[in-house]
Amino acid sequence: MKHNSLRFYLRIYRKILAQDLKSKMSYRADFIISTIGMICTNIAGFVGFWILFRNFPSISGWNYYQMLFLYGFSLISLTPVQCLFDNNWSLRMNVYSGDFIKYCFRPINLFFYYQSEVFDVKGLGQLAFGIGTLVYAWVHLGIAVTPLVILKTVIFLMTASLIMIALQNAAAATCFWIQNSFYVMDLVFKFKSYANYPITIFGRFFRFLFTFVMPIAFIAYYPSLVILQPDNVPVLTWISPLVGCLFFWLSYKYWMYGAMKYSGTGS
């Protein structure tokens, strides 16, 4: 089987995933406590919206259920980066300790091998909560359920996920050049909370920043408009799949460039 074939990588990933899950299940108490903690955090966000809309009927034209839709959309779109790319948080420590060099001598794609080593199961709890929130808001908004609408939702959720994955990849890869790269990762992680809100509530400067510099608005706001406002979809929504693919590709190239530089210097 060719080492660059999709079938080969799926087979390798299945084996790596099985070993990672076995190791996590050996610490069940830690897994259960962490999962409960993540669910409680998401519930806190849900309650926060409820308290906010007890005092305000709408925010920048967005009502309670529209905001919940955006929140659920954001949680679902962030699940892939939580589950599949959590090892980015360990990248700086592996680089500084020298342990990263072991990934450079495998006859498979370096980026795939490093990211596939860890699967954060707790992210599945976030996914379940996000789906529940989205469905709850969907029903109360009276949005029609058709094959086309479902297809649009899936496509734009994937688009949104690519944006957050790209941001984390790029932030993590700064460790190849910046010693205190944790602060870059932490900044990106904190900025993702702004994805829960419509970009229209921010001033002109932050609208530009969250659209063209750090494209947080493409994680939930622009993609969700194809469902929430189907008769008035902005151009930025339609090009968001292209933006997602482009940013992911650029982040991958940036990550790999740093990794190759690291292996080349023998650091």
The whole-number pLDDT of residue 27 equals 65
Percentage above 70 pLDDT, the chain: 92
CA gap 144, 93 in Å, rounded:
48
Residue 63 has pLDDT above 80, yes or no: yes
136-161 in b/e form (b: 16+ CB < 10 A) is: ebbeeeebeeeeeeeebbeebbebbb
Q: Which residue has the higher pLDDT, 52 or 253?
A: 253
Per-domain residue ranges of the chain:
6-265
User: DSSP strand E in the chain: where?
Assistant: none
The distance of Cα 132 from the centroid of its chain, to the nearest Å, equals 18
